[in-house]
Amino acid sequence: MRKSLTTKATAVIATAAMLTSMAGCGSQEAAPASTDTQQPAETTTEAAPAGDATAETSTEAAAEETASDEYDPYKVITDADGNPVDLGGMEIIIRDWWSGDEAEPQNEYEETLKEYRDWIQETYNFTIKSQAMSDWGSTPTDFVDYATTGGDENYVFILRDDPAITSAMANGLMYDLSTLDCLDFNDVKFQRNLLHKQYSKGDHIYAMFAGYSEARTGVYFNKRILTEAGIDPESIYDMQADGTWTWDKFTELLDKVQQDKDNDGTIDVYGLTLNEGVMTTEAVFSNGGSYIDKDANGNFVYNLESPETLEALEWTVDVFTKYDAEVANPEGAEWDYYKEQFLNGQAAFLVEDEYAGCPGNFLEDMQDEVGFVMFPKGPKMNDYINVWSNNPAAIPACYDADKAWKIAFAWNLYTNAPSAEYLDYNGYLSTARNGIFDERAVDETITMMTEKGTVAYHGMVPNLNLGSDFVWNIGPGAVVSEQVEAIRDTWKSYVDEANK
């Protein structure tokens, strides 16, 4: 039975470090992913080159899952003499910016996971734990400083998408994980997220992530407003299910729900409210485009002017111009005023990341019932796509081969499923069930989001700041050609420099 579709376990795999990053690590070493920051969040959807996005980026096509009747995490791994591998009492820290003291298990999944992790540490003679030792802002610099000077500690660094990490790769500061035979990147726990491909150069791999990817950008809709406009909210889920949820269908609905109810010349209910940068990036990838891609040799490729990307940008501006509630923002409103607009029923649709509907986030204050679907597909795509952004786990290259192997061996065991029963456990779904999502959002939309996705490369190019360079200028009335022309040569020079 697929655990991801049950309510049996409520632990976030991120928190359990078994299947994701909230944005986290490890088969999900967690990290507080909902970065509800005080700026237009260009990093919350930092994404991925879609290129041939439909087939190659679907994790369901990535690798065959190990048959549950063959999976045995308690099978002892032995050395050349037939004895259990002995890590010599190593104390390993998975170094992040959010982990606190380990909590007591709250459900059967967490109990099973703790039992398994206690066993591996005793059997192979090591200890391992996640610990907050940096903050979100300093993490890239902390890694570079440590990898440059070295130390006696045994760290797995949890990083974030940042150009400093690309520079660290280029300058030999990140251990080449492809040389460690204890890691099998064909394993389903890696193929489910593809992060190792994002952090690769040729045959070399410099970072990893285990388990399902965190769900990212989708479309929330106010069921009351849709119903009052004569639209059955369930029909949107039905379109998503039968593959007809497209840009054209989305704009049809936007046009129908946007209303001047009292005929005073002022719109009372807008079609859409949002952080425009979030939708722009998702729209680009939903049409098979990207800002920066990678070629077969692992070199960055400028892709802003591909037909797929330009078509998406033009469509996005058209939607913003016609339906964006930004024009109704009061003078002096904060950049995230769109949240209040959706909560107050001033707009029918909200394009936003999935975390917004999870416990502790702003949609908890929503009075109307909402639905949630994946972003509609553009004319150049045959399927829906989600732009993943997971926190990479890396080993500093200052460690020798023996130390790096032992740390990777331990981390690999630590991020394994604790039993065959939990091979498909998806902790993100358990978290979502405790949020504002209805049943179809969890079982259909969020499940797809964690399984259908791609990785992005624009956040890895040094000096390229997607938001301030370009995306924040894509709004109502923007002229795409002018914005592209203004940044073209600069981005090309960044790409050329990054490929040296």
Q: Is the pLDDT of residue 492 over 70?
A: yes
Task: Tell me the pLDDT tens digit for each residue of 209-227.
Answer: 999 999 999 999 999 999 9
Q: Is the pLDDT of residue 452 over 60?
A: yes
Task: Tell me the pLDDT tens digit for each residue of 130-151.
Answer: 999 989 999 999 999 999 999 9
Q: State which H helix or E strand residue 431 sits in.
A: helix 427-433
CA distance 441 to 448: 10
Amino acid at 391: N
8 A C-beta contact, residue 495 and residue 295: no
pLDDT score for 56: 41
Q: Phi and psi at residue 110, in whole multiples of 5°?
A: -65, -35
8 A C-beta contact, residue 345 and residue 494: no
Cβ-based burial of 89 (10 A; exposed 0-12, middle 13-18, buried ≥19): exposed
Rounded mean pLDDT, 360-387: 97
Q: Assign 84 to helix, strand or coil.
A: strand
8 A C-beta contact, residue 154 and residue 407: yes
Beta strand 386-387 with 300-302 is unpaired
Integer angstrom CA distances of residue 236 from 133, 220, 227, 285, 363: 44, 11, 12, 20, 20
Task: Tell me the pLDDT tens digit for each residue of 453-477.
Answer: 999 999 889 899 999 999 999 999 9
Q: What value, to the nearest 5°, has the Cα angle with vertex 361 and ends 16 and 334?
A: 140
8 A C-beta contact, residue 298 and residue 64: no
Check if 8-214+389-439 and 217-387+455-498 are the same fold: yes
DSSP string of 293-346, one letter each residue: EE-TTS-EEE-TTSHHHHHHHHHHHHHHHHHBGGGGPPTT--TTTHHHHHHTTS
Buried b (16+ CB within 10 A) or exposed e, 161-189: bbbbbbebbeeebbbbbeebebbebebbb
Where residue 68 falls among pLDDT bands split at 50, 70, 90? Answer: low
Q: Phi and psi at residue 371, in whole multiples of 5°?
A: -115, 170
pLDDT score for 252: 98
Task: Tell me the pLDDT tens digit for each residue of 299-324.
Answer: 999 999 999 999 999 999 999 999 99
Q: Which candidate, 104, 1, 23, places its Cα nearest to that of 425? A: 1
Beta strand 453-454 with 386-387 is parallel
CA distance 270 to 256: 10
Percent of the chain with pLDDT over 90: 78
pLDDT score for 265: 80
Buried b (16+ CB within 10 A) or exposed e, 422-432: bbbbbbbbbbb
Q: Is the pLDDT of residue 64 over 90?
A: no
Half-sphere exposure of 362 (CA within 13 A, CB side): 18
Beta strand 393-394 with 204-205 is unpaired
Q: What value, to the nearest 5°, has the Cα angle with vertex 72 and ends 126 and 1?
A: 125
Task: Tell me the pLDDT tens digit for each residue of 228-282.
Answer: 999 999 999 999 999 999 999 999 999 999 998 888 888 999 999 999 999 999 9
8 A C-beta contact, residue 163 and residue 464: yes
Where residue 358 falls among pLDDT bands split at 50, 70, 90? Answer: very high
Where residue 394 falls among pLDDT bands split at 50, 70, 90? Answer: very high
pLDDT score for 38: 32
Q: Which candidate, 426, 442, 452, 428, places its Cα nearest to that of 370? A: 442
pLDDT score for 73: 95
Report how many helices (DSSP H) and strands (DSSP E) the chain contains, helices first. 18, 14
Where residue 163 falls among pLDDT bands split at 50, 70, 90? Answer: confident
CA distance 430 to 417: 16
Q: Is the pLDDT of residue 28 over 80?
A: no
Class of the CATH-defined domain 217-387+455-498: alpha beta
Question: How many Å is the Cα radius of gyration of the chain?
Answer: 23
8 A C-beta contact, residue 23 and residue 214: yes
pLDDT score for 36: 34
Residue with tokens 């995230």: 336
Give the Cβ contact number of residue 2 at 10 Å: 11
Name the average pLDDT for the chain.
Answer: 87
Query: Can you read off the two tokens belonging to residue 437?
Result: 């999502």
Q: Is the pLDDT of residue 107 over 80?
A: yes
CATH topology of domain 8-214+389-439: D-Maltodextrin-Binding Protein; domain 2 (3.40.190)
Beta strand 347-353 with 270-274 is parallel
Q: End-to-end CA distance of the chain, in Å? A: 49
What is the residue extent of each domain of the chain?
A: 8-214+389-439, 217-387+455-498
CA distance 90 to 125: 7
Q: Which candidate, 443, 324, 423, places its Cα nearest to that of 73? A: 423
Q: Is the pLDDT of residue 5 over 70?
A: no
Rounded mean pLDDT, 352-379: 97
Q: Which residues contact 153 (CB under 8 A, 6 or more apart)?
A: 93
Where residue 162 falls among pLDDT bands split at 50, 70, 90? Answer: confident
